[in-house]
Chain A
Amino acid sequence: MSTELAFVRTEQIPPSPPPSSAIGPKKWIKDNLFSSIPNTILTIVTIWLIYTVLMVVVPWMANGVWNTSSLTECREVLQGKTGACFSVLSERWNQILYGFKYPVDSYWRPNTALILLAFAAAPVMFFDLPRKMLIFTAIYPFLAYWLIWGGTILGPLVALLGFVAGGFAFMRLSFKSFAAGFFGAIIAAFAVWIIGGGLIPETASENSLLAAVPSRDLGGFMLNLMLGVTCVSLSLPLGIALALGRQSNMPLIKGISVVFIEFVRGVPLITLLFVASVMLAYFFPPDSTVDLFLRVVIMITMFSAAYIAEVIRGGLAALPKGQYEAADSLGLDYPQAMRLIILPQALKISIPGIVNVAVGLFKDTTLVSVISMFDLVGMIRGPILASTEWNGVYWELLGFAAFLFFVVCYGISQYSQWLERRLATDHR
């Protein structure tokens, strides 16, 4: 009995190649497309659907006309064939990108700003790059402002100096206490802005190197990009501050954060934009002229900061309590613990949510078209579609607008996925 149960292997079985039916494309097709009768039917129906769509889209795009000067000419060229009238894109290219009032001989200015943006954003997005590049990132907002709006360089310079003074005051005072540094920095910055602002002569903009361009003249996809970049980069720190404020032990700070978040989240963005364009003027002194672009930036930033704050709060809540305790037990103070331990982890968890808000925000910048700003959609709906030459060219224009937004949003999404992989340290 025991001799039959016992078994001892005396030699290894050598590995052998799998049979041909278990590998290769044939196997893949059989497994994934035609594994059962319902699967086969689904595959055939799907292929037929793709074929039908392509049969419409491909000739439409391939027959596209690029160099006529109106829709009627397009129709003459096509002579009844299916085909797109892409001429509207080539003829109104500048309007689509820059709006219809930005001075043509200054297009190089926003272009330069866009190229420099890549250098400014790089060290923030890819933190393996040398940290010294961050100096350029810090200067960039002022440089870009000067490039796009032109006028005297003294304005952005004073603004920059104010931030430098604030940072300097913070470094000097924060050794005593964080609060002293914080409020000292605010006071120093405002002192520089007020004194510096007073020193700039009224006529400084008239003979400046770059001609001044008012905000009303900005437009096209440039306006969407500007709003998107500004609002995302402002709403992220504000959102972090709100999320931390909502977790604070101090009832006043907590209360303010909760009320702000709940109020702003509970209001449609479009109402906030109307407030920015119409009603906000009532709240400022009568003779002050707060720029419309700035008002819109404030509103969109507040709106997305409230969303980002809630996303980050989720990330903070997901951290085990032990992380706070470990940081505390090592003697790190609150700002250190937050900056070095808590936020890096909480933000990492929140990346998909933050990117979701950022992409949504970027697309929502098209809403400014309803308060008569001529962004990409505003340009299409207004000057271009209303013109006699291009009345009726919907597919080409809106399709192109969608394409532009898709390129940017897909890029953001790919970047965020790379970032998540790069930061994944816990399960490797």
Chain B
Amino acid sequence: MSELAIEREIDRSKMQVSDEVAIQISGMNKWYGTFHVLRDIDLTVNRGERIVIAGPSGSGKSTLIRCLNALEEHQQGQIIVDGTELTSDLKNIDKIRSEVGMCFQHFNLFPHLTILENCTLAPIWVRKTPKKEAIERAMHFLEKVKIPDQANKYPGQLSGGQQQRVAIARSLCMKPRIMLFDEPTSALDPEMIKEVLDTMIELAEEGMTMLCVTHEMGFARQVANRVIFMDAGQIVEQNEPEEFFNNPKSERTKLFLSQILGH
């Protein structure tokens, strides 16, 4: 929960929000047993938006983005991702999952496969990409996250920051139209947080639609075009980062901000 300063200049030329809707959530509710985790979530994400979801732990922010690729099932309401509605239909779910990339807090790389195999597996098996092309694409994205020389190592041989960057490259190899980040830097040392954030900023600079659950308020301030604050399963406040940080409206938001930025 720090505010890591982002030193570099951000190129905003391609960071444009279009009118096209990427994700539409309306009246969504979710329960774990009898516990009401997500309550009446309404959210529209346009293509090109970079949304940071913040909030205290247990507020349902991870659950929310995990609902977007059906890692969690919602019980009420509607989620439309890229024009496809998420229902219990497995075909729809697999289609949406192959369009939506996801990065996890603990990277979840496949330890029995090399970095290159991690990146080519889904394109080859899900997209039926020819192997040669899949390898070329994987190397392209590994170069982008600046670790092409580690391609033949195993995940266990890499540092945490490198692993997270591989995880990002692995998602990108599927050419997703939307990227979800579930606390991608929470398990990392400060030095490694920076390298992962740099990768995420580059992605934002290319106009990727991103939803990030993160405590990196520096990233939220500089990169996001909208910050959503959640508490107790509800969206409490959402605003442009400038307004959100300098002029929070809700008492709950003020308390949260004073706690994480106060020291």
Cα of A261 to Cα of B170 in the assembled complex, Å: 39
**Residues of B with Cβ closer than 8 Å to A?**
69-71, 90, 94-95, 97-98, 100-102, 104, 106, 108-112, 121-122, 125-126, 154-157, 170-171, 174
Told that A320-B108, A326-B109, A330-B122 touch, could you supply 8 new A-B pairs with CB distance under 8 A?
A326-B108, A330-B98, A330-B126, A330-B170, A331-B126, A336-B126, A345-B111, A426-B112
Contact B104 A325 (CB under 8 A): yes
**Residues of A with Cβ closer than 8 Å to B?**
320, 322-323, 325-333, 336, 340-341, 344-345, 348, 423, 425-428
Contact A325 B156 (CB under 8 A): no
Chain B residues with Cβ below 8 Å from A423 are 112
Cα of A329 to Cα of B118 in the assembled complex, Å: 13
Contact B104 A326 (CB under 8 A): yes
Which interface residue of A320, A330, A348 has the most chain B CB atoms within 10 A?
A: A330
Contact B98 A331 (CB under 8 A): yes
Give the contacting residue for B71; candidates A325, A341, A348; CB below 8 A. A325
Chain B residues with Cβ below 8 Å from A331 are 94-95, 97-98, 122, 126, 174
Contact B111 A336 (CB under 8 A): no
Contact A425 B104 (CB under 8 A): no
Contact B156 A428 (CB under 8 A): yes
Residue of A nearest to B114 (CB): A425
A322-B104, A331-B94, A336-B126 known; A428-B157 Cβ under 8 A: yes
Chain B residues with Cβ below 8 Å from A330 are 97-98, 121-122, 126, 170-171, 174
Least Cβ–Cβ distance between A351 and chain B, in angstroms: 13
Least Cβ–Cβ distance between A349 and chain B, in angstroms: 10
Least Cβ–Cβ distance between B33 and chain A, in angstroms: 17
Residue of A nearest to B104 (CB): A322
Cα of A348 to Cα of B156 in the assembled complex, Å: 16
Cα of A339 to Cα of B220 in the assembled complex, Å: 39
Least Cβ–Cβ distance between B69 and chain A, in angstroms: 6
A331-B94, A331-B97, A331-B122 known; A428-B109 Cβ under 8 A: no
4 closest Cβ pairs, A-B complex: A331-B98, A326-B108, A322-B108, A330-B122
8 A-B contacts (beta carbon < 8 Å): A326-B104, A326-B109, A326-B110, A331-B97, A331-B126, A332-B121, A332-B126, A340-B125
Chain A residues with Cβ below 8 Å from B98 are 330-331
Chain B residues with Cβ below 8 Å from A345 are 110-112
Least Cβ–Cβ distance between B182 and chain A, in angstroms: 10
Least Cβ–Cβ distance between B41 and chain A, in angstroms: 20
Least Cβ–Cβ distance between B168 and chain A, in angstroms: 13
Cα of A344 to Cα of B157 in the assembled complex, Å: 19
Chain B residues with Cβ below 8 Å from A327 are 110
Least Cβ–Cβ distance between A415 and chain B, in angstroms: 19
Least Cβ–Cβ distance between A213 and chain B, in angstroms: 44
Residue of A nearest to B155 (CB): A426
Contact A333 B170 (CB under 8 A): no
Least Cβ–Cβ distance between B104 and chain A, in angstroms: 6
Residue of B nearest to A423 (CB): B112
Contact A336 B125 (CB under 8 A): yes
Contact A426 B156 (CB under 8 A): yes
Residue of A nearest to B70 (CB): A328
Cα of A336 to Cα of B110 in the assembled complex, Å: 14
Cα of A344 to Cα of B98 in the assembled complex, Å: 22
Cα of A325 to Cα of B106 in the assembled complex, Å: 11
Contact A344 B112 (CB under 8 A): yes
Cα of A122 to Cα of B193 in the assembled complex, Å: 46
Residue of A nearest to B124 (CB): A340
Residue of B nearest to A339 (CB): B125
Chain A residues with Cβ below 8 Å from B170 are 330
Contact A426 B154 (CB under 8 A): yes
Residue of B nearest to A323 (CB): B108
Least Cβ–Cβ distance between B121 and chain A, in angstroms: 6
Least Cβ–Cβ distance between B162 and chain A, in angstroms: 15
Cα of A326 to Cα of B168 in the assembled complex, Å: 12
Chain A residues with Cβ below 8 Å from B125 are 332, 336, 340
Chain A residues with Cβ below 8 Å from B171 are 329-330
Chain B residues with Cβ below 8 Å from A329 are 69, 71, 97, 100-102, 104, 171
Chain A residues with Cβ below 8 Å from B121 are 330, 332, 340
Cα of A425 to Cα of B157 in the assembled complex, Å: 9
Chain A residues with Cβ below 8 Å from B102 are 329
Residue of A nearest to B105 (CB): A322
Chain B residues with Cβ below 8 Å from A427 are 156
Contact B122 A341 (CB under 8 A): no
Contact B97 A328 (CB under 8 A): yes
Cα of A345 to Cα of B110 in the assembled complex, Å: 9
Chain A residues with Cβ below 8 Å from B104 are 322, 325-326, 329
Cα of A82 to Cα of B108 in the assembled complex, Å: 66
Chain B residues with Cβ below 8 Å from A336 are 125-126
Chain B residues with Cβ below 8 Å from A326 are 104, 108-110
